[in-house]
């Protein structure tokens, strides 16, 4: 389970990073979203992965570490708000600058059409 | 009541911020009254907190009365009290300046301003690594909106870069916090420093990876050499009172570096002690060198001031990189000076730009200034202070820093610091002579100076001569702060009496 979990997190983070480095604002926003998913998964695993653990400590046996769950919940809420803000900002930039390049430049347009 | 004083710098702006956000179209006068009133109250609270912390006792406030290490705590020591007072002083100048009309260019200025103050104060007070993240997000979210207050192409574009970069930074912060939690099993910074002392050696690599990731995150906020490219454009395009308030934002990053690495990775962390120092030292010197070039190359007064902020970041980080209590004391003195003076210069640049009409703050020939004499005197004070000329506070701060350097550090620090100062001086005198002397023959604009705007500028720039007059008490305080930072033991005793007793028992 650990290796599957680690690979999933890694692939999500790699895809997020790749998309964040793109030049158009939409892929950048999607990339940031993927990156935050990967980070949430990573945080979730920080208390150690346990299966069949009790959710609430009942005195005997193993139990799941509750702190990472609380952290992930906070991180998800903040991540949602930030993504919403980034989407609105990207739309505003598209409207104000007339294109959706992150630098606001009309670059490589002709090259992309040729492809 | 006094017990709850510690949490007031967070709660007060939160309440007034929410009140201000209730009605978007309320009367402007009421909003200004509430915004300025709340900031004045914050200033009074900050003075009371400074008085409480000056005795050297570390006090904490456990939210919901969950005692550390389990609950969320706010910790008040000399450093956090000093930073909160500095924030309140800066914020008062900014909010009064904004009340002259900048707050009407968009909606919700005062509400966002208060929420930004809440985030900054929270970051200075929190004793918990995850809460540091939360308060960073609060101050960032407010700053995103404030940066784009009033709209316009330049602001949207700089804002997009700023937001995306900081979102990526937040992801890194969470990873670093996760790694440190996984390795030490706690998020309370004081508890973490206790846990590090008994860390198994195979986890040391993990912890140092987490610690250096944190340095990247704080470096992004503080704008260290490879991570500063967002700063000049963002600061130069932000509305003046916001840019002035942002003068404290880079210092939040510097505060976080100082706090985390002196408390968690202090003298009890064994092999992990002060692991950031070589990185911070060399990157700080690099920042100084690059920003000096930027100061010379700037063609706009606001861009010039933004690069001066970078020079100050390099200077302050060099102080952290030196890693002695003397250097920490010197950098704290310099920090007070540079925050207030660069903030004042951003406000002054706006006043100059307003009176020059179309030419704005660009360093080209423009129409003569209506209040040229007064503005020139203010500019002279600000420029002399920020370039570090002796009679004003910048010179004293730099002298403290240069004296604190060890003989091995002097050959690197002295020339770089002095050359950066010279570059600032050259750039500022060139800018001053263009702005005030080389003007077209023509009618000056009939835009008078607002009384509130003048108050904001003189309040912040006046801090420099005041800091010289009070240099004795202030440097005594910063020295005491540096000593408190250099030994985390009293803080551990205050927050975790059981652990401290346990550790002492183990020694005996």
- The CB density around residue B37, as the number of other CB atoms within 10 Å, is 12
In angstroms, the Cα distances linking B216 to A93, B120, B168, B355, B439 are 28, 19, 11, 41, 45
Buried b (16+ CB within 10 A) or exposed e, B142-174: bbbbbbbbbeeeebbbbbbbbbbbbbbbbbbbb
Interface check B187 vs A, CB under 8 A: yes
DSSP line for B367-405: PPPTTHHHHHHHHHHHHHHHHT-TTSHHHHHHHHHHHHS
Compute the count of residue pairs across chains A and B with CB atoms less than 8 Å apart: 81
Contact A20 B144 (CB under 8 A): no
Percentage of chain B modeled with pLDDT above 90: 56
Helix, strand, or coil (residue B446): coil
Residues of chain A with Cβ-Cβ distance to B170 below 8 Å are 78, 82
| pLDDT for res A115 | 45
User: Sign of torsion, CA B16 B241 B248 B474?
Assistant: negative
**Count of domains for chain A:** 1
Give CA–CA dist A86/B314, Å, rounded. 30
E runs forming strands in B132-219: none
In angstroms, the Cα distances linking B321 to B6, B33, B200, B324 are 30, 43, 27, 9
- The full 3-state SS of A78-110, as one line of letters, equals HHHHHHHHHHHHHHHHHHHHCCCECCCCCCCHH
What region, left, alpha or beta, does residue B75 occupy, with left being phi > 0 and alpha being psi -120 to 50 degrees? beta
Contact B160 A85 (CB under 8 A): no
CATH number at A11 reads: 1.10.287.3510
Residues of chain B with Cβ-Cβ distance to A93 below 8 Å are 156-157, 160
> In a 10 Å sphere around its CB, with 0-12 CB exposed, 13-18 middle and 19+ buried, how is residue B507 labelled?
exposed
Tokens representing B271 are 């092999």
pLDDT band, very low/low/confident/very high, at B508 (cuts 50, 70, 90): very low
Mean pLDDT (whole number) for A63-67: 80
Residues of chain B with Cβ-Cβ distance to A71 below 8 Å are 130, 177-178, 181
Mean pLDDT (whole number) for B86-104: 92
Domain that holds residue A74: 2-49+67-114
Residues of chain A with Cβ-Cβ distance to B174 below 8 Å are 39-40, 42-43, 75
Tokens representing B188 are 């309370």
Mean predicted lDDT score pLDDT of chain B:
89
Asked whether the predicted pLDDT for residue A114 surpasses 60, the reply is no
Asked whether the predicted pLDDT for residue B37 surpasses 90, the reply is yes
pLDDT band, very low/low/confident/very high, at A111 (cuts 50, 70, 90): low
| pLDDT for res B501 | 61
* Tens-digit pLDDT profile for residues B322-333: 888 999 999 999
Tell me phi and psi for residue B366, to 5 degrees: -140, -170
Asked whether the predicted pLDDT for residue B507 surpasses 50, the reply is no
Those of residues 157-186 in B touching chain A at CB distance below 8 A are: 157, 159-161, 163-164, 167-168, 170-171, 174-175, 177-179, 181-182
pLDDT band, very low/low/confident/very high, at B500 (cuts 50, 70, 90): low
Residue A62 or residue B487, greater confidence: B487
Asked whether the predicted pLDDT for residue B16 surpasses 60, the reply is yes
Give CA–CA dist B91/B86, Å, rounded. 8
State how far Cα B85 lies from the chain centre: 12
Measure in Å the smallest separation between the Cα of A115 and chain B Cα atoms. 28
E runs forming strands in B77-197: none
| pLDDT for res A70 | 87
Give CA–CA dist B253/A107, Å, rounded. 35
Residues of chain A with Cβ-Cβ distance to B64 below 8 Å are none
Asked whether the predicted pLDDT for residue B168 surpasses 60, the reply is yes
- The CB density around residue B308, as the number of other CB atoms within 10 Å, is 29
Residue ranges of the domains in chain B?
276-484
Tokens representing A115 are 């492809």
| pLDDT for res A51 | 75
Residues of chain B with Cβ-Cβ distance to A39 below 8 Å are 171, 174-175, 178
Give CA–CA dist A13/B244, Å, rounded. 36
- The CB density around residue B322, as the number of other CB atoms within 10 Å, is 23
> Closest-CA residue in chain A for B141?
A82
Q: Is A94 a member of any domain?
A: yes
Q: What is the interface pTM, i.e. ipTM, of the complex?
A: 0.89
Tokens representing B76 are 């008040």
Mean pLDDT (whole number) for B279-302: 92
| pLDDT for res B488 | 84
In angstroms, the Cα distances linking B407 to B21, B274, B283, B414 are 54, 20, 19, 11
| pLDDT for res A108 | 54
Contact A85 B163 (CB under 8 A): yes
- Among B149-153, B156-160, B180-184, B440-444, where is mean pLDDT lowest? B440-444
Residue A104 or residue B494, greater confidence: B494
Residue B239 or residue A54, greater confidence: B239
Percentage of chain B modeled with pLDDT above 70: 98
Measure in Å the smallest separation between the Cα of B327 and chain A Cα atoms. 36
Residue B234 or residue A52, greater confidence: B234
- Among B33-42, B65-74, B85-94, where is mean pLDDT lowest? B65-74
Interfacial residues of A (vs B; Cβ cutoff 8 Å) = 20, 25, 28, 32, 35-36, 38-40, 42-43, 46-48, 67-68, 71, 74-75, 78, 81-82, 85-86, 89-90, 92-93, 96-97, 102-104
pLDDT band, very low/low/confident/very high, at B369 (cuts 50, 70, 90): confident
pLDDT band, very low/low/confident/very high, at B17 (cuts 50, 70, 90): very high
């Amino acid at each position: 389970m650990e290796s599957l979990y680690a690979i999933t997190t890694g692939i999500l983070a790699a895809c997020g990073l790749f998309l964040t480095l793109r030049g158009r604002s939409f892929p950048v926003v999607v990339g940031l979203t993927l990156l935050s998913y990967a980070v949430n998964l990573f945080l979730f695993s920080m208390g150690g992965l346990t299966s069949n653990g009790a959710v609430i400590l009942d005195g005997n046996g193993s139990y799941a570490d509750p702190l990472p769950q609380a952290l992930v919940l906070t991180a998800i809420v903040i991540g949602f708000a930030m993504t919403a803000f980034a989407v609105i900002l990207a739309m505003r930039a598209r409207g104000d600058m007339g294109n959706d390049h992150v630098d606001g430049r009309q670059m490589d347009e002709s090259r992309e059409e040729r492809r | 009541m006094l017990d709850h004083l510690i949490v007031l710098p967070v709660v007060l702006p939160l309440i007034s911020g929410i009140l201000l956000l209730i009605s978007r179209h309320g009367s402007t006068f009421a909003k200004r009254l509430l915004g300025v009133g709340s900031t004045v109250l914050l200033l009074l609270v900050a003075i009371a907190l400074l008085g409480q912390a000056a005795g050297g006792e570390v006090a904490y406030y456990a939210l919901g009365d969950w005692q550390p290490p389990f609950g969320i705590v706010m910790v008040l020591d000399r450093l956090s009290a000093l930073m909160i007072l500095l924030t309140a002083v800066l914020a008062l100048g900014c909010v009064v300046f904004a009340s002259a009309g900048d707050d009407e260019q968009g909606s919700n200025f005062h509400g966002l301003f208060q929420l930004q103050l809440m985030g900054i104060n929270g970051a200075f007070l929190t004793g918990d690594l995850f809460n540091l993240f939360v308060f960073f997000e609060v101050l960032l979210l407010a700053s995103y909106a404030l940066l784009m207050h009033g709209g316009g192409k330049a602001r949207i574009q700089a804002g997009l870069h700023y937001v995306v970069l900081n979102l990526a930074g937040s992801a890194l912060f969470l990873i670093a916090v996760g790694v440190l939690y996984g390795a030490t099993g706690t998020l309370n910074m004081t508890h973490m420093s206790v846990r590090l002392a008994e860390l198994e050696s195979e986890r040391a690599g993990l912890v140092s990876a987490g610690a250096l990731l944190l340095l990247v995150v704080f470096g992004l906020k503080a704008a260290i050499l490879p991570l500063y490219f967002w700063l000049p454009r963002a600061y130069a395009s932000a509305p003046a009172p916001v840019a002035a308030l942002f003068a404290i934002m880079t210092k939040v990053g510097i505060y976080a570096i100082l706090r985390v690495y002196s408390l968690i990775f202090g003298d009890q962390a064994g092999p992990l002690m002060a692991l950031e120092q070589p990185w911070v030292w060399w990157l700080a010197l690099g920042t100084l060198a690059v920003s000096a070039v930027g100061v010379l190359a700037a063609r706009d007064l606001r861009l010039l001031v933004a690069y001066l902020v970078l020079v100050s970041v390099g200077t302050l980080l060099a102080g952290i990189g030196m890693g002695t209590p003397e250097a920490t004391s010197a950098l704290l003195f310099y920090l007070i000076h540079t925050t207030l003076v660069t903030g004042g210069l951003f406000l002054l640049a706006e006043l100059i730009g307003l009176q020059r009409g179309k030419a704005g703050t660009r360093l080209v020939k423009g129409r003569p200034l209506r209040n040229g004499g007064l503005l020139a005197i203010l500019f002279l004070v600000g420029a002399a202070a920020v370039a570090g000329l002796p009679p004003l506070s910048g010179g004293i701060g730099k002298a403290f820093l240069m004296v604190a350097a060890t003989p091995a550090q002097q050959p690197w620090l002295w020339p770089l610091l002095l050359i950066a100062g010279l570059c600032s001086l050259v750039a500022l005198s060139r800018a001053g002579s263009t702005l005030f002397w080389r003007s077209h023959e023509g009618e000056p604009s009939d835009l008078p100076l607002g009384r509130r705007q003048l108050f904001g500028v003189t309040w912040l720039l006046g801090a420099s001569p005041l800091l010289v007059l009070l240099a004795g008490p202030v440097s005594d305080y910063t020295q005491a702060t540096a000593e408190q930072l250099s030994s985390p033991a009293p803080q551990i005793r205050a927050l975790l009496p059981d652990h401290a007793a346990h550790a002492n028992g183990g020694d005996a």
